[in-house]
Chain A
Amino acid sequence: MTRLRALSRVVMLVLVLAVVLYPLVWVLGSALKSPTEITSNQSVWPEEVTWSNFTVGWGYIPGVSFGRFFWNSFLIAGASVLANCVSCLLTAYAFARLKFFGRRGWFALMIVTLLLPGHVLIIPQYVMFHEFGWVDTPLPLIVPKLLATEAFFVFLMVQFMRGIPRELDDAAKIDGSGPYRIFWHVIAPLARPALITTAIFSFIWTWNDFFAQLVYLPSVRSYTVPIALRLFVDSSGQTSLGPMLAMSVLSLLPVFLFFLAFQRFLVQGISTSGLKG
């Protein structure tokens, strides 16, 4: 009886898993089909593996190759990772370990900004950055992250730092260390797991981000991968389906590789802090 129950549980899991993973297997299989096969062969696996979709897709947009878009995306995502890690670590240290006038009030305000929808901020921010002459540069996408505006990561690191034993600070204080030395020699090294989680999610979210990049990067040469991918829809003929899927596969690849390498951190990070994926 219990064995039967266990078996049915596994069967159900496998069935759900098949449904969940189907779109991903499908996009991979279809990207490897030739243009004629893509419409005729409805099976997931290609009869004959062709790579032409990738070469056609790479140069699909006249004048600019996907290499450029990937470079832009990597640049922005890389800068965001660095900016988030540094700024959120500094902020979290203040909230988690230092006593200062007004700390509770500021912390409450930080939590409120967590709930503030980006769509409310985008118009005034756009007007501001437009006045600065920053539109069509990566600056509007990076500078706010230097200022710890991703409150999720601050929150995550505060939660983590609260778990670091106070005795370590006290020992350092007795040795004559001030808050700066404690930060640099005690807290920052110990906060590494939280930093790694922040780095991974920063990368993936920035890589997948569409809204802000769509608004701030209007010219083709500054496009990132998601913005460029959208161009395949504008001319939605069946012939572009293969190249579109091929480029989609390539754009999913960095996130997928991150997932494979860091899945332990990802799943832990999500369950301890309630971060969104």
Chain B
Amino acid sequence: MVLTTATRPEAAAAPPAPPRRRSRRNAGRRQEGLAGYVFLSPWLIGLMAVTAFPVLFSLYLSFTDYDILSSWDMLNWVGTANYEKIFTTDPIFWKSVRVTLTYALIAIPLKLTASLGVALLLNRERRGIGLFRSAFYLPSLLGGSVALALVWVAIFNGEGSFNSFLSLFGLQGEPWINDPDWALGTLMVLSVWQFGGPMVIFLAGLKQVPTELYEAASVDGASRVRQFFHVTLPMLSPVIFFNLVLETIHGFQGFTSAYVISNGTGGPVYSTKIYTLMIYDKGFTDFQMGYASALAWIFLAAIGLITVVFFSTGRFWVHYSDGGES
């Protein structure tokens, strides 16, 4: 829209060009505009059919009692009943919200700290440093898989190798994944273990910090710790912000490890019932598609809200060296 209003008056005001050239240029522009939509068409169809329509459809379903098993004429419009039930009588909803928030509030800061710490250690040009970088990144590629979640179960169960390791120091282990107090903790460890993704982004960010700043700081007699807090962190804040947003969205959407470790139940005693597991359970185990859609919309609203909060508070602590808005 902006494009046409900007170009049209200009074209009208321009002195009349030789007719043949102008028509050719207009033809070229029209051809390009048409080509734009030709190239965009797969995405446009996808946007309408696989994204926009389902989102709206899910909103509609959330006000119904749709259960996929019975035919469409059996569907009842139930108004806000699903939402009311979720917030007032659902025994698991608030538990699940608490589990998800606990997971996010602990695992994400730990993961970001670990990734920044290792990135700082790796931020030296030295032979073989690339090998380290790649090795630290490997868990990020494998970590989301069912196989690794199974390995986690094997390592952190009562007879697992983690407890054998503890017994070397005379410590008595727990049956970590079967203990309601610890099961979520093992999930967090699995998530922190995959710190390679944000680490690589931090490394790229650290390379952008001008070395003159450190030189100036050490001339002023600033210690390494001071340099970290007054040079590195502010210069890195856009990258920290980026990683924080990405990891938060990603963290709320964890599913595989919680599903596999609890064998789909979110147990023991709902201790690993993260929100996405609850949506899956209501939709595909109980076939309460309407109810599950309402849960999903609350999830969408929450993630939207968190994103807005991040972006509106970001300007208070995110420092862009060019003074612009990234």
Contact = CB atoms under 8 A, between A and B. Distances in A.
B32 A98 contact: yes
Contacts of B36: 94, 98-101, 103, 179
Contact of A113 (B3, B51, B256, B263): B51
A190 to B, nearest CB: 16
Nearest to B56: A124
Nearest to A100: B36
B47 A109 contact: yes
A122 to B, nearest CB: 7
A13 B124 CA distance: 12
Given A121-B51, A128-B54, A277-B140, A94 B150 contact: no
Contact of B118 (A16, A87, A103, A127): A16
A208 B140 CA distance: 11
B151 A147 contact: no
Contacts of A232: 150
Contact of A230 (B34, B260, B297): B260
Do most interface residues of chain A lie in helix, strand or loop, or is the interface mixed?
A: helix
Interface in B235-291: 242, 246, 249-250, 252-253, 255-256, 259-260, 263, 276, 279-280, 283-284, 289
B32 to A, nearest CB: 5
Interface in A227-241: 227, 229-230, 232-234, 236, 241
Contacts of B135: 17, 20-21
A14 to B, nearest CB: 9
B12 interface: no
Contact of B139 (A20, A87, A178, A207): A20
Interface string B43-71: 11111011101110110010000101000
Interface residues of A, number: 95
B32 A113 contact: no
Interface string B1-28: 1111000000000000000000000001
A82 interface: no
Interface string B123-136: 01000000011111
B234 interface: no
A114 B197 CA distance: 17
B122 interface: yes
A185 to B, nearest CB: 14
Given A120-B299, A234-B263, A266-B141, A101 B3 contact: yes
B299 A117 contact: yes
Contact of A23 (B155, B246, B250): B155
B61 A100 contact: no
A105 interface: yes
B75 to A, nearest CB: 11
A206 B54 CA distance: 22
A23 B152 contact: yes
Contacts of A42: 161, 164
B296 to A, nearest CB: 4
B283 A126 contact: yes
Interface in B293-314: 293, 296-297, 299-300, 303, 307
A94 B34 CA distance: 10
A94 B292 CA distance: 37
15 contacts: A13-B122, A24-B138, A26-B155, A42-B164, A90-B40, A124-B54, A124-B293, A126-B68, A127-B66, A210-B259, A214-B259, A227-B146, A241-B154, A252-B145, A267-B134
Interface of A: 9, 12-13, 16-17, 20-21, 23-24, 26-27, 30, 39, 42, 87, 90-91, 93-95, 98-106, 109-110, 113, 115-128, 130, 144, 146-149, 154, 173, 178-180, 183, 204, 207-208, 210-211, 214-215, 225-227, 229-230, 232-234, 236, 241, 244-245, 247-249, 251-252, 255-256, 259, 263, 266-267, 270-272, 274-277
Given A42-B161, A248-B148, A252-B145, 14 more contacts: A13-B132, A27-B147, A91-B42, A101-B3, A125-B54, A127-B57, A180-B35, A210-B256, A226-B145, A229-B146, A233-B260, A245-B150, A251-B146, A255-B145
